[in-house]
Each structure stands twice: as structure tokens, then as C-alpha cells.
Structure 1
Amino acid sequence: MDKRLFSFCFGIASIIIWPWLPSGGWWIPLACLVGISWQKRPATACLLLGIIWSLCYSHWQLNWLQDPTLFQRSQLIAGTVDSVQAQGLNKNRLIVSLKSLNGQALSPRPRVLLSWYSEQTPPQKGEYFQSISQLRLPHGLHNPGTFDSARWLLGQGITARGSVTGTLTHQVHADSLRTQLVKHVKAQTAELPAQPWLLALSIGDRSGLKTEDWGMLRGLGISHLFAISGLHIGLVAGLGLLVGRLTGNRWVSVMLAITLALTYAWLAGFSVPTQRALLMLLLWLAVYCWGRFWSGRRILLLTISLLLAVRPWLALDHGFWLSVLAVAALLVTTNWLGGRQIWRLQLGLTLLLLPLVMLLFGGISWLSLPVNLVLIPLFSLLLIPLLLLAALLMLPAPTLASGILRLLNALFEPLMGALHWLNDSVAPWVWLSSYAQGISLFVLLLPLVLLPKARWMWLLPLSLLLFQLLPQPRWQVRVLDVGQGLSVLVTQGRQALLYDTGNRFISGFNMADGVILPVFRRLGITKLDYLVVSHDDQDHSGNRDYLANTVPIRRQWGAWPEGQRCRAGQHARWGELTLTVLWPVIITGHSNNDSCVLHISDGRLSVLLTGDIEAKAEQGLLVNQELSSQTLASQASPLAAELLLSPHHGSKSSSTAAFNQAVNPNWVVHTAGFNNRWNFPSSEVVARFNKQGVKQITTGEQGMVHLVADGSQWRLMQEKRPGAWYNKLNTWLNGTKPLE
């Protein structure tokens, strides 16, 4: 049975690595294979069943997106709010289950993520409303080491995004019992400094936690304590069993454990981690009452099978696998390593999950083990029981509940202050580059060769080590995918130059934290030799000051309050490369045409970085080129470059035919956001480069564009957008390849 369950789960989970989504008709030949193999190879049949179900479920959920006008104009949507998350002043995020689109009923009901920009109070959970929204695909930025928003959205069952500024109709419902209780909890804790922590632990609302709070939780490795899941559900169920045993009746203890667990899960809003823990608990209690013995492995496999059977896209959720593998690590520690004391359990959990944490989060916390050894008993035996008691007493005995909450505040406030101090003082989180991760995985996987009948596995750590030791190209150019903006990373070995910094938004999200710094960490870049800011536009200079305060920078060129302004004729030698500023001659006050145009060359290959210059500046560059050619008596054009970043993101106001001919590139990269409102790159610009026979790439479609110096030509590392099928949904929107 265990083998069949595992095969079924593996079949569903294989959706993570599918390079494309096959057409729906593929289920028929796969079903025939299931019938053929069921008698002699049932595990293989279960594997194929998992694949078939993933395939059919995905087409079933994505079918509504086939409307050709869905993303081309505003839509009349109607649906029910599944959840609301506050994002700041007059901004909220709603996850909505759509009932109809332009008056047409939808089945199944798709889930969409809507950004709410309005002074109105947004609809609350469970309420029905109608509104006008411009929908778009769950398409995310694509850079190595950065957050994969497309995968995360589908993992939550969300198949489109959009924004609304108000409602056309809104049916307000009476508050449910849970809503009333949540309001009471928020009201009772409104004046308590520890409210964000109390709400996170009691009702699963973590929206009050700040960026520095999340940094502390990650740094100390204690994020799991504030995600209501197995630890919390298991604790309250254990309390129920303990109290029930005093009656001497097995059924009473089981029913009390189930009641407390269901109450806590209900209070937490039945989030996915809570559902997972609750299902595993109910299975274990059912087996316990049945009087049979099932191993923890079988219960875990059955739990995973049931969850994935209901929602196959859970396989795309990192949190799902992190919690599943945490339980598996506990079983391994308990059964194989003989660890039953808390320090052994935590040690085994830490070591076994280390590779996964390192791959998912790009680093490790060296202080996680001792901090968890102290906090897990404290939370389990004192803080969570008190908090659950306060929540249960909130409606029948609010005065007593308020007293318990004040006691918890008195405990939490100094505790969280001490944890923040500890994290800030010793900085326990260590970011690891891809090279360091490879070496670490080599060391961690090396013991696999000691397993019986597993000597062949030495190939895995050895291949990882050999991959890390491969020779690197002399220099590389990475045009980062920062949406509608610009940021280019040029490296030669460990030396790095960054041209422009991407945008920074009022909401707090910025391309430095979201893209640039994660790429730096992955590559092991700890300092910049040059940070060149082409001009003052926000989508180019938005993170200039932030990066200056975060990363050591040797030289600052361009649009800096204090730094070396770009001037035509400026030269510098940088390792094996020559940096030459071609523009501006003088600052004119026209922001775009004052962009710093930088030419980088090794004598054989070159790249031209152009910022946002337009036709007028291009004409000026052509005049300067003619003067330079006459002065130097040379046929070589100072503008010539094999790689060109199209001026002004491919706007029709730039990339004139004369300029394109003077540069004469082999490659052109358009730094334009996916489905941007300006329709960059312009069709006119694309046509000009096509006529010239130039290869063109757009970051919004391709993701990060990575080119390496290969002799006298540039070599593109990825011909098409990399990643699995969920990173290529835009091909369906563009009509080039309908998901298959």
C-alpha cells in the first residue's frame, strides 16, 4: 500500500518539473497504460493515475483563460471573497472566487488575486460583490534565485491577477461567529504592543508583522512557530487526550482531542497548513480508535495523497513540501536514529531539512538549533495553551480573556525584543552563493555512499562538485528582469558593474530586494566596482541610495548627488575591459536624453548600454561618431557593438534606423515589462531591427537575459524562457504555443 501511495503522490508532484503542459487529450493513452499495467505493476499504474489527474485538473482550472479578450479589456467580475489581507493605507489584497465573468457563470469557480485601491472599506471574507477589473495572467519576474510568483500563485489555486478601485454592487453579510470572535480578539489586543504576534498565533493573521519581524524569524529559524500547523494542532490535541485520559474512557479522550483541534483550526481560518495537520491528526485518531497499527510513514503518505487528490496544485507550494518533509524528518529521527528527546528531535530535524532550507531560501541559520530548543517547549507548554484559553473565553468571559491576553503581552513583549536584539547582534542568517550551496550539498550528500546497496549514489555529490569546478567565461552580461525598468549586471570573475537599479514602489516592494540582491547572493557578489545610474527616472534610479547603503561600491558614475557625472569621452580600464562614456556631451535638462550611454568592450566583443535616450540624443551620438572617426582616421565606429540594449525600452521615440545601422548589433535586448501599458517594444522598432537581421529578446517574455563572451561572439545561455510550464503561461496569451 505504501508503495502505491508514494507512486500516486509522485505522479501528481511531477507537475513541478513538466517543461510544458501537454494537451488534455493525453489522458486517453495514459489511461490505457493504466489498464495494461494495473495487474502486474500496480505502483506504475498509480504513478500514471497521478499524472493523469494533474493533467486533467490543470486543464480544468485553466480552461476559463482561453477567452481571447480576457486580458485585452476590462471585465465585469462577480464573486465571493475568500480572504482579505491589508497592505497599507487604502490598499488591500483580496483573494476572490469568481462566480461569473461578464454575466456568464463560471465552472469551476476560478480564484483571482485582486489589489484593492480605494478609500472604501473592502468587501470582507464571505461577502459577494461585483466590480470592473483588468485581469492579467499569473506571470512573474524570472531571475535566478528570486521569488517565483507564478508558481506561488498557482500553488494557492490563483489563475489570474487584477485590480479594483471599488464595487458596483456589494452584499454585506452578517458576521459569522468566527468573524465576531476575530473582531473581539483584535479589539482586546488593539492597545497591546505584542498584538501582531498574538494575532499570528491565535487567528493565523500575520499581516501585522513587519519586514524586520520576518527577517528576525528567518534569521533565527523560528518562522514555523508562527504558522499554525502541526506543532500547534498536535499540541492542543495532545492536551485533549491528556485531559480525556483522566476519565478512563478512550472515546472521551479522542472526542476531546478532535474538538480542541477542530476549534483551533477553525479559529485559524482552516489555512492549508492547518488543514494538513488536522487531516493527519484525524487519520491517526481514527486508526487509534480502530485498534489497528499504522506506521507514521503510512499515515503521512495517505495524508499527502488525500490533499494532493483534492488540490493537485498544492505540489507547487513550497510551504506544503517544507511541512511534509519536516514531518518525514521527525519520523526518520524518531524511528531510524532513535531520537525521542527534544534536543535529538530538533537536531535531526535541523540536519535533515538543511539541504531543503538552503535550496529554497538561499542560506542557513547557524543559531536555529539552540533557539528552537528553548522556544519550542516555551511555546508548547505555556504560550500557546494560554492563548488558546484566552480565545475560547473571549465570548463567554471577556474580562478573564482580557486578563490572560495582558499576561501574554507581558511575556511576549520582552521575549520578542530579546529575539530581535539577538538577531541584530549576531546576524545568524548566512546567505550562500550557488557555489557555496553546491559545496555544502556535496558534503551533506557524501554520507549517502555509506548506505547499503547505494554506492552508485556517489555520482550525485561528485557531479555537483564537478559542476561547481567548471571554468567560467571571461565576462558575462545579465540583463535582469525588473519589469518595466532597467538593471544590467556585467561581471568578469568576482568583479561586478551594475548599470541602473530598477524601480522602487510606494507599497514598499522594490527591485533591489526582489531581484538585484538575490542575484548578487546567488553569484557570490559582495561588492560593486561600479554602480552607474543612467539618469534620474524612478525605474532606473529607484534603488540607488538603498544599494549604496547595502553593498560596498568603489565608484559611482552617472546620476548621483555626489559622484562622477557621465561625460562623453570619459574612459576607465576595468580588469580586461574598457569602459567608455559616449553621452551626454552636456546636461540639457531633458532627463531621458541626458542618460549615460556606456560602451563596454574587451577589444573583440562589446555591449552598448543606452538608458532612455531618444532620437535627439541618438542624432547627437551619430554626429560625435563622425567627428571621432575623422579625428582618429579610423573606419571603426565608436558606437559599434555586438550587443545593444534598445534605447528607452524599445520606445518608438528611439532606435532610429541611422542609429541602429551605426551600432550594427548582432543582439538587441528590449528591457520591457510583460504586457506593459505602453506596448514596449514598439512594433516599429521591432520591424526596424528585423529588417536589419538582428536577433531580438524582450526581458518581460524571456526573463533575465544571460549572455556570455564566447570568443568573438555573444552566446545566449537560454534560447527560450527557462523553467517549468507555469513560467511560460504568457506563450498562451501571445498565441504562439497554447500550453503545449
Structure 2
Amino acid sequence: MDKRLFFFCFGISTIMIWPWLPAWDWWLPLVCLGCLCWRPRPAMACLLFGLVWALCYSHWQLSWLHSPDLFQRSQLVAGTVDSVQHRERGASRLIVSLKSLNGQALSPRPRVLLSWYGPDEMPAVGDNIQSISRLQPAHSLHNPGSFNSARWLLGQGITARGYLTGTLGHQAADASNRTRLARHIGTMTADLPGRRWLLALSVGDRSGLKQADWDMLRGLGVSHLFAISGLHIGLVAGLGLLAGRLSGSRLLAAVVAGGLALGYAWLAGFSVPTQRALLMLLLWLGLFCWGRFWSGRRLLLLTMTLLLAVMPWLALDLGFWLSVLAVAALLVSAGWLEGRSLWRLQLGLSLLLLPLIILLFGGISWLSLPVNMLLIPLFSLLLIPLLLLACLLLLPAPGIAMAVLVLLNALFEPLMNGLHWLNDSLSPWQALSARAQGLWLLLFLLSLAGLLPRARWLMALGMYLVLLQPGVLQPILLKQGPQPRWEVRILDVGQGLSVLVTQGRRALLYDTGNRFDSGFNMADGVILPLLTRLGIDELDYLVVSHDDRDHSGNREYLAATLPVHFRRGVWPDGLHCRAGQVEVWGILTMRALWPVTPSGHRNNDSCVLHIGDGTVSLLLTGDIEAKAEQGLLALGQPVGAQLLLSPHHGSRSSSSDAFIRAVAPDWVVHTAGFANRWGFPSSEVVARFNRQGVTQLITGDHGMVHLVSDGHRWRLLQSRRPGPWYHRLNAWLTTGGRPSKPLE
């Protein structure tokens, strides 16, 4: 049974790595093959059935995206609000289950993520709304180390996103019992400084946590304590089981334990970690009443099977795997490591989860183990029981409940202040380069292979994981061909610009991408993770072309975060770009071609930079338009380059025919965001480059464009947007799943 459950889950989980989404009609031959394999190879049959179910479920959920002109114009949408994510700054977000699209009923009801910009009162959970929205399919920025929002969206069952500026219809729903109770807790704790922590632990509302709080939780490795999951559900059930056993009845003990766990999971909103923990607990309690014993492995596999059977896209949710593998590590720790004491269990859990943390988060916290050794008993024996007591007493004895909440606040305030101080003083989180990640994984798996009997295959797995790291495999591949003298990475920063030029570990960054009112910025989201993966901890040059926020939004932040040797362009204390400036940087020569009179306040004042090694060259143009292009050509500057960054993201006001002929590039890259509202790159500009026979790439479609120079020519390392099928969902919709190609 265990083997069949495992292979069914494995079959569904292969959806994470499918290079494309197979056609719908693949299900029939796969089912027939599974039926043929059932008697001789039942495990293989289960794998095929899992794969078929994942395939059919994906097509079923994505079928509505084929509606005519869905992403070309605004749509009339109507649905029910499933979730609300409040933000202090910028747009709040709604997760809406759509009932109809332009008056046509939808089945199944797709979930969409909508940003709320309207001046009206924002809808609440359960409300029915009708509005005009501009939608786009699930999509993510694609750079090494960037957060994969497309995978996250699909993992939550969300197939499209958009924005609202108001509602045409709004029918408020009656507040549910859970909503009323959550509001009551929020009201009672309104004046308590530790309110955000109490709400996170009681009702699973973590919207009040600030960025500094999240940084602290990650830095100390204690995020799991504030995501209601197995630890909390198990503790509540254990208290109920202990209370029920006092009666001497096994059935009563199971009912009390299950009831308390179910109530806590309901209060937390039945998140994925609580679902997994609750389902596993209820299975165990059922066996406990029945007088049967199943191993922890079988319980975990059955829980995974039930969850993945209901929603196969959970396989795309990293939080699901983190919770599942945490339970698996706990079982291994309790058995193989003989973890009969708390410190052994925690030690085993920390060690076994180390590779997963490195792979998911790109770093490690060297304080995680001792901090967890202290906090887990504190939460288990004191804080969670007190919070549960306060929740139980809210209605029958609100005065006593308030006193308990005040006591909890008095405990949380010094505790969390101390944790913040610890994180700020010691900076325990260590981000790792791709090479360092590979070496850590290899060391861990080699050690595990030496300790476990008959586990030498782990050595091969370790080598495979190491080779998957870009910073490890790429140098090996490049040795088979010409060595790169220098490299250019045009980053995928949405509608903005950032270009990284490197010679080994020496780096020049041209523009810094945008910084948004919500707090999200391209420095933390794209640039710094990439530099960390490449092992670059300082910049030789930071060049800012002009003042527009999509180019300069992170200049001060990056200058404060990284050592920067030379600042060029629009800086109060840097060297302004002026036509005629020449600098030598390693094997490269950098020439500033424009402007003649620096100001940096207009598109046509952008710093135009020509970088070359005498044979291969790059032209960085900022946001100059046709007028500046004409002035640049009139100066007689040497603008010829094999690689061109299209001026002003491919706007039709730029890239004149005369300018394209003068540059005569082999490649042009349009730094245009996916489905941007300006329609960049303009069809006119694309046609101009096509007439000159130039190969074109768009960062919004391709992701980060990475080219290397061997001293003779530019070589593109990825011919199309890399990664699994959900990275190219738009291409699947427009081309039936065929690989997308550069513009021609």
C-alpha cells in the first residue's frame, strides 16, 4: 500500500518539472497504459494515474483562459471574495472566486488575484462583487534567485491576476462565525502592542507583521512558529487527548482531541499546513479508536494522497512540501536518530531540513537551532496553551480572557524585542552563492550517504543537485567552448531597466529597477539575490541613466547595501555622464556618448554608455528618444555595437531607422514588462528591427537575457524562457504549448 501511495503522489508531483503542458487528449493512452501495468507493475500504474489526474486537473482549471480576447481588453467579472490581504502601503489584494465572465457562468470557478486601488470601502471575505478588471495569466519575473510568483499563484489555485479601481456591484455577506470571532479578538487586542503576534497565532492573520518582523523570523529560522501548522495542531490535540483520557474512555479522549484540533484549525482558516496536520491527526485518532496501528510513514503518505487528489496543484506550493518534509524529517529523527528527547528531535529535524532550506531560501541561519531549542518548549508549554485558554474563554468569560491576553502581551513584548535585537546585532542569516549552495548540499548528502546503510545512491543525488546550481554547472559547460571574456545580463525587472555587466566577479550595474509604494522593490526582489548567487559582494560601477523611478528607484538603497567604488550618471556625489568621457575597466573600455549637457531629469538626458573590448560591444541607451538619437548621430560618436538595449523599452518614439542602421546590432533586447499597459515594444519598432534582420528579445517574455562574449561574438545562453511549463503559460495559451521563439 505504501508503495502505491508513494507512486501516485510522485506521479502528481511530476507536474513541478514538466517542460510543457501536454495536450488534453494524452489522458486516454496514459490511462490505457496504466491499466495494462496494473497487475504486473501496480506502482507504475499508480504513477501513471497520478500523472493523468494532474494533467486533467490542469486543463480543467486553465480552460477558462481560452475565452476570446480575455487578456486584450477589460472584462466584466463577478465573483465571491475568498481572501483579503490588507497592506499598509500600496494596493491591497483580493483573492476572488469568479462566478461569471461578461455575464457567462464559469465552471469550474477560477480563482484570480486582484489588486485593489479603489477609493471605495474594500470588500470583505464572503462579499459578492461585480467589477471591470484587466486580467493577465499567472506570470512571474524570471531571474536566478527571484521569487517564482507564477508557481506560487498556481499553488494557491490562482490562474490569473488583475486590478480593480472600484466595484459596479457590491453585496456584503453576513459575517461568518469565524469572522465575527476573529474581529472580536482583534477588537480586544487593539490596544496591545503585541497584537500582531497574538492575531498571527490565534486566527492565522499575519497581515500586521512588518517587513522587519519577517526579516527577523527568517533570520532566526522561526517562521514556522507563527504559521499555524503541525506543531500547534498537535499541541492542542495533545492537551485534548490528555484531558479526555482522565475519563478513562478512549473514544471520549479521541473526540475531545479531534474537536479541539478541528476548532483551532477552523479559527486559523484551514490553511494548507493546518489541513495537512488536521487530516493526519484525524486519521491517527480514527485508528486509535479502532485499536489499529499504522506507521507514521503510511499516515503521511495517505495524507499527501488525499490532499493532492483534491488539489494536485498543491505540488507547486513550496509551503506544502516544507510542511510534508518537516513531518518526514521528524519521523526519521524519532526513529533513525532515536530522538526520544526534545533536543534530539530538534537537532535531527534541523539537520534533515537543512538541504531543503538551502534550496528554497538560498541561505542558512546559524542561530536557528539554539533559538528553536529555546522557543519551541516556550511556545508548546506556555504561550500556545495560554492563547488557547483565552480563545476558549472569549465568550463565556471575556474578562478572564482579556486578562490572559494582557498576560500574553506582557510575555510577547520583551520576547519579540529580544529576538529583534538578536537578529539585528548578530545578522545570523547567511545568503549563499550558487556555488556555496552546491557545496553545502554535496557535503550534507555525502555525510548522509556515509551514515545510512545502502544509501550510496545519495552520493549520485548530491552530485546531481550540485550540477543543477547555475554557478557550478555553467563554468564546466563553458570550458567545452570559448571562454567568456565578459558577460551581460539584462534583468527581468518588469517595466523598468537594470543591466549587469561582469568580468569574473567584477561588476557594473546600469540602472536599478523600480521601487513601489507597497514596499516591494527590484533591488531586494531581483538584483541582490542575483548578485548573491554569483558571489558578487561589491560593485565597481553603479551607473544611473536618469531620474525616472523605473531606472533609479533603488540607487540609494543599493549604495547603502553594497560597497560601490564608482558612481556614474545621475548622482548628487557622483561623476555625471558627459559625451566624450572614456574609462578603462579591466579588459573593457567604457565611453559615455550622451548627453552633451548633463541633467538627468528627462528621457533625452539619459546616460548612453558604449562598452566594448575592441571586438564585441554593447550599447546602453536608457530612455533616449528620436531627438536624442539624432543629436547623438550628429556628434559623430562611434555607436556601432553588436548588442543594443532598445531605447525607451521599445517605444515607437525611439529606435529610428537611421539610429538602427548606425548601430547595426546583431541583437536587440527590449526591456519591457509582461503585458505592460503601454504596449512596449511597439509593433512599429519591432518592424523596424525586422527590416534590418536584427534578432529581438523581450525581457517580459524571455526572462533575464544572459549573453556571454568569447572575444568574437555574443552567445545567448538561453534560447527561450527557461524552466517548467508554468513559466511559459502565456506561450502555451498563444501557441498551444510550442516553445516561444525570439522575434523575427
TM-score, normalization: structure 2? 0.96
The question of 1:555 aligning with 2:593 is answered: no
CA RMSD, Structure 1 to Structure 2 (Å): 1.5
Letter of the aligned partner of 1:706 in structure 2?
Answer: H
Contact 2:609 2:619 in 1 (8 A): yes
The correspondence for 1:587, drawn from 566, 587, 598, is 598
Aligned mate of 2:586, from 560, 572, 575:
575
Question: 1:467 corresponds to which residue?
Answer: 473
- 1:228 deviation in Å? 0.3
For 1:315 and 1:215, locate their aligned partners in 2 and report how far apart those are by CA, in whole Å. Answer: 26
Matching residue's letter, 2:63: N
Question: Residue 596 of structure 1 aligns with which residue?
Answer: 607
**1:358 maps to what in 2?**
358
* Alignment deviations for residues 242-295 of structure 1 (CA, whole Å, 9 cap, x no partner): 111111110111000011001101110111111111000001111111111110
Partner of 2:177: 177
1:738 Cα offset (Å)? 6.6
In the alignment, does 2:118 pair up with 1:118?
yes
**Residue 590 of structure 1: CA displacement?**
6.2
Helix, strand or coil: the match of 2:137? coil
Letter in 2 for 1:260: L
Kept in 1, the 8 Å contact 2:720–2:739? The answer is no
1:8 aligns with 2:14: no
CA contact (8 A) 1:475 1:709 kept: yes
Amino acid at match of 2:548: D
Cα shift at 1:130: 1.2
Deviations along 1:447-500, one digit per CA (max 9) or x if unpaired, are 354344444543444463773763562211000000111000001111000000
SS in structure 2 at match of 1:579: strand
CA distance in 1, matches of 2:527, 2:654: 27
Tell me if structure 2 keeps the 8 A contact 1:181–1:395: no
Q: Secondary structure at the match of 1:655?
A: coil
**Partners of 1:648 and 1:323 in 2: CA distance:** 45
Output the amino acid matched with 2:494.
G
Matched letter for residue 715 of structure 1 = R
Deviation at 1:186, TM superposition (A): 0.4
Other structure's SS at 1:531 match? strand
Counterpart of 1:367 in structure 2 is 367
1:209 corresponds to which residue?
Answer: 209
Q: Residue deviations 1:681-720, cap 9 Å, x none?
A: 1111111111111111000000000001123111101000
Deviation, 1:733, is 4.4
Look up the match of 1:77. Answer: 77
Is 2:56 aligned against 1:50?
A: no
Deviates more, 1:460-469 or 1:361-370: 460-469
Cross-structure match for 2:661: 661
Change over 3 Å in CA distance of 1:675–1:191 after alignment to 2: same
Q: Distance in 1 between matches of 2:600 and 2:44?
A: 69
Q: How does 1:172-571 map to 2 (within 5 A)?
A: 172-450=172-450, 451-462=452-463, 464=466, 467=473, 470=476, 473-571=484-582
Further displaced range: 173-182 or 59-68: 173-182
Residues in 1 aligned to 2:670 and 2:543: alpha-carbon distance in whole angstroms: 19
Percent identity over the alignment?
70
Shift, 1:165, TM fit: 2.0
Whole-Å separation in 2 of the counterparts to 1:120 and 1:694: 48
Q: Partners of 1:117 and 1:396 in 2: how far apart?
A: 40
The alignment of Structure 1 onto Structure 2 pairs a total of residues equal to 729
- Decide whether the 8 Å contact of 1:600 with 1:608 is kept in 2: yes
Confirm or deny: 8 A CA contact 1:729 1:739 kept in the other structure. Answer: no
Instruction: Give the Å deviation of 1:171.
Output: 1.8
Amino acid at match of 1:255: V
1:142-161 CA deviation, whole Å, 9 max, x = no partner? 11111000000000000111
628, 631, 655: which one aligns with 1:617: 628
Inter-partner Cα distance in structure 2 for 1:90 and 1:678: 21
Q: Unpaired segments of 5 or more residues in structure 2?
A: none
With over 3 angstroms needed to count, the CA separation of the structure-2 counterparts of 1:12 and 1:609, relative to structure 1, is same
| SS of corresponding position for 1:503 | coil
Q: Against the structure 1 CA distance between its residues 700 and 469, is the aligned structure 2 distance closer, same or farther, given a 3 Å change threshold? A: closer
Q: Is the 8 A contact 2:547 2:600 kept in 1?
A: no
Deviation at 1:88, TM superposition (A): 2.3
Q: Tell me, yes or no, if the aligned pair for 2:485 and 2:711 is still in contact at 8 Å.
A: no
SS in 2 for 1:147: coil
User: Are the counterparts in 1 of residues 515 and 553 from structure 2 also a CA contact under 8 Å?
Assistant: yes
Cα deviation, residue 588, structure 1: 6.5
Question: How much has 1:444 moved relative to structure 2?
Answer: 0.9
Matched, 1:699 2:709: no
Distance 1:74 1:459 in 2: 51
Question: 1:97 is matched by which residue type in structure 2?
Answer: S
1:12–1:308 CA contact under 8 A, matched in 2: yes
SS at structure 1 position matched to 2:135: coil
SS of the residue aligned with 1:729? helix
Q: Distance in 2 between matches of 1:575 and 1:711?
A: 14
1:544–1:608 Cα change, 3 Å: same
* Structure 1 pair 733–29 and aligned structure 2 pair: CA distance change class (3 A): closer
Secondary structure, aligned partner of 2:87 = strand
Q: Which amino acid aligns with 2:551?
A: H
State the partner residue of 1:632: none
> How far does residue 329 in structure 1 lie from its aligned partner after superposition?
0.3
- SS of the residue 2:611 aligns to: strand
Tell me the SS of whatever aligns to 1:28.
Answer: helix
What TM-score, normalized by structure 1, do the two folds share? 0.97
Q: Match for residue 631 of structure 1?
A: none
Q: Secondary structure at the match of 1:88?
A: coil
1:101 correspondence with 2:87: no
